[in-house]
Structure 1
Amino acid sequence: MIRALLALALTAGPAGAALSAGEVTNPEVTVAAGVIHLRGLDNLNGISRDLEVRVGETLSFGQLEIEAEACRVPRDDPKGDAEAFLRIRDVRDTAPRFSGWMFASSPALSALDHPRYDVWVVSCSMS
C-alpha cells in the first residue's frame, strides 16, 4: 500500500492539482467495487454513523452531500485496503470541500477539511 501511495504522490503533479477518478496510477492490480462503506462523525455532538453509498450515487450526511465516483480494491484481496474517489460538498457552499481519493488504510493522508464533520472510507464491496 505504501508503494501505491507513493505512486499517487508522484503522479499527482504540482501541489493542489486536482485528480479525476481515472488519473491515478497504482502499481497494485485493483478492481472496481460498486459500494463504498464510510464512517461519518459529527464533531458537534460526538455521534458517528456508518454510511453506505453506491458508486454513481449521492448520500446526505448532516449538511454534507457525498458523491461517490469510484471505489477500488486489490484484485487478490477484495477485503483488503480500499480507495475511493469522493466529492464532498457542504450544502451551504457551491464548491466541494473535498474532491479526491480517500484511502481506508491512511485516512489522514487525504482527508475532508470541515469544521463539524469527518468522513472516511472504511471499505468497499462488490455489491
Structure 2
Amino acid sequence: MNLWWQRRGVAVCTALLLSTLSGAGAIAQEKSAEDIASQERVVRAGGALLRGLDKVSGRTTDLRLQVGDAVRLGRLEIRLGECRYPADDPSSDAFAQLTITDLSENVTRFSGWMIASSPALSALDDARYDVWVISCQI
C-alpha cells in the first residue's frame, strides 16, 4: 500500500510540473516579446570590468578591458568584443561578448555573451579559472 501512495505522489507531482511548464511556456513567449522590445533600449559601452578567480589559490583579480582588447589571466586570454547595458538603468546589468582562449592548448574555452546578473547562465567551463562580468565601463 505504501508503494502505491509513493507512485501516486510521483504521478501527481509530474502532472503538476507539466501543467506548470505548459503555462510557463506561454509566459516565456510573452516575455520574449518584451525582451525584444527592451533590446532597443540597450547602449554599447567602451569597456568592461570583469573579475577572474584562480580556484587553486583563491585569488580574485579585477580585469578592465576596452572593446577589442585582450588580457591574460594565467594561461587564459580574455578578449572583449562588446559590452552593453540598459539605457534606463546603467548600473542594473551588463552583457559582455567574450572570447576566452586557453593559450596552453590553443583551444577556445568560451565564446559568447556573459550576463552580469546571471553568471551561471552562460559560464566559462574551466577547471582552474572562473571569469564573470561585473559591469560595463562607460
User: TM-score higher than 0.5 here?
Assistant: yes
Give the Cα separation in 1 of the matches to 2:109 and 2:117.
21
User: TM-score, normalised on structure 2?
Assistant: 0.71
Question: How many residue pairs get matched?
Answer: 105
- Distance apart, 1:82 and its partner CA: 0.2
Give the aligned partner of residue 37 of structure 2: 27
Q: Note the C-alpha offset of 1:27.
A: 3.2
Alpha-carbon spacing, 1:50–1:87, altered in 2? closer, same or farther (3 Å): same
User: What is the one-letter code of the residue matched to 1:97?
Assistant: R
Does 2:115 match 1:103?
yes
Shift of 1:58: 0.6
Question: RMSD of the TM alignment (CA)?
Answer: 1.6
Distance 1:89 1:61 in 2: 10
Greater helix share, structure number: 2
Q: Tell me the distance in 1 between the aligned counterparts of 2:37 and 2:113.
A: 16
If asked which structure has higher relative contact order (CA below 8 Å, sep 6+), I would say 1
1:78 Cα deviation from its structure 2 partner? 1.4
Unmatched segments (≥5 aa) in structure 2: 1-27
Larger radius of gyration: 2
Stretches (4+) displaced over 2 A: none
Q: What amino acid is aligned across from residue 43 of structure 1 in structure 2? A: K
How far off is 1:94 after superposition?
2.3
